[in-house]
Amino acid sequence: MRAKSSWANCLCLVLYLAAASSCLAQASLPLANLSGDEERLERALAQRGTLDVVETPLREVLDKLSTQFQVPIVLKLRKLEEAGVHIDTPVTKQLHFMPLESILDLLLDELELDFMIRDHVILVSTPEHLESPDMMDTRIYPVRDLVAYSVPGTNDDPHRYAADYDSLIDLITTTIAAESWVDVGGPGSIKEFDNSGVLVISQTRRTHREIAQLLATLRKAKEFQGIATLPVSDLKPRRTVSSRIAGRPPADSPRRVGAVSPQTWQVPQVYAE
């Protein structure tokens, strides 16, 4: 019986590792349990459904969506009250066969509200609340294929490569939510971790979505131009300073990882779109 149990445990471990590898290659992988609430909520946001309401109180509309998509949707009542938004505000909206994420975006945007996944629920609150430093969502983006470039080698070592994280960081911080980064007084942070070939980014849900789209487009552009991914087992970080945006520290200076100390609930996610 003990041998059978051991064999079953090994099989479960193999299947788990295979699923994790598949998720990492395709889209994103939470570092927490793959069967956890966060992944379930992310899948629910991508599911399509319908919202057809006329002069229906906001809280009832969110209850309908919660029931239809089988996810908990919670209003941050105190923040809504501070912003002058009543939970019984009448809503009229006809949206058919759309992802839950798009339905919530279109519904809440008119009320100047937003949402994020937090504490095992979809939390609806004000943008000011969700953009505060202690509400930032920390995610990990593998970018080694985007930052690697070849450098002159030697006869003994002809294949050498370095990593230019600065250019990618500047591209992200100057084209996506440019005023939201810590270098210019915002709550968002971005830092390279060369040892793993990743960027560690703390930002809002909306900004993370734009970053993922940008990185995916950069990869498609490389493929379109026939630029092959370099073998980067011997990456050396580049430390030369190129043109940078005002206020950004030199390449040799450490960048601030976050505006506040990391919260225990902030579990980074790996994004490899």
Identify the three-state secondary structure at position 59.
helix
> In this structure, is residue 57 part of a structural domain?
yes
- Which range scores top for mean pLDDT: 29-33, 101-105, 158-162, 253-257? 101-105
Identify the three-state secondary structure at position 214.
helix
Measured distance CA(79)–CA(26) in Å, rounded: 37
Residue 90: pLDDT above 90? yes
CB 69 within 8 A of CB 47: yes
Site of tokens 């370095």: 162
76 with 156, same domain: the answer is no
The CATH number assigned to the domain holding 65 equals 3.55.50.30
- For position 221, what pLDDT does the model report? 93
* Residues in contact with 158: Cβ distance below 8 Å, sequence separation at least 6, in sequence order: none
Q: How confident is the model at residue 180 (pLDDT cuts 50, 70, 90)?
A: very high
- For position 272, what pLDDT does the model report? 54
CB 200 within 8 A of CB 138: yes
Type of residue at 252: D
94 with 119, same domain: the answer is yes
Q: Residue 93 half-sphere exposure, CB side, CA atoms within 13 Å? A: 26
Measured distance CA(41)–CA(66) in Å, rounded: 11
> In this structure, is residue 84 part of a structural domain?
yes
> In this structure, is residue 6 part of a structural domain?
no
> Higher confidence at residue 5 or residue 103?
103
Question: Whole domain around residue 71: which residue ranges?
Answer: 42-130
- For position 47, what pLDDT does the model report? 96
- For CA atoms 149, 181, 263, 62, the dihedral sign is negative
CB 146 within 8 A of CB 156: no
CB 30 within 8 A of CB 36: yes
Residue 15: pLDDT above 70? no
Helix (H) or strand (E) holding 54: strand 48-57
Antiparallel, parallel or unpaired: β 235-237 and 160-163: parallel
Q: How confident is the model at residue 140 (pLDDT cuts 50, 70, 90)?
A: very high
CB 131 within 8 A of CB 113: no
98 with 206, same domain: the answer is no
CB 133 within 8 A of CB 204: no
Question: Which is nearest to 136 in space by CA: 273, 267, 270?
Answer: 267
Measured distance CA(102)–CA(95) in Å, rounded: 9
Where is average pLDDT lowest: 7-21, 43-57, 118-132, 155-169?
7-21
185 with 203, same domain: the answer is yes
Q: How many domains in the chain?
A: 2
Backbone angles phi, psi at 55, to 5 degrees: 50, 45
123 with 142, same domain: the answer is no
98 with 172, same domain: the answer is no
176 with 50, same domain: the answer is no
> In this structure, is residue 172 part of a structural domain?
yes
- For position 152, what pLDDT does the model report? 77
105 with 204, same domain: the answer is no
Tokens of 264: 């225990």
156 with 199, same domain: the answer is yes
CB 127 within 8 A of CB 114: yes
For the chain, give the percent of residues with pLDDT over 70: 68
Backbone angles phi, psi at 101, to 5 degrees: -60, -45
126 with 199, same domain: the answer is no
137 with 267, same domain: the answer is yes
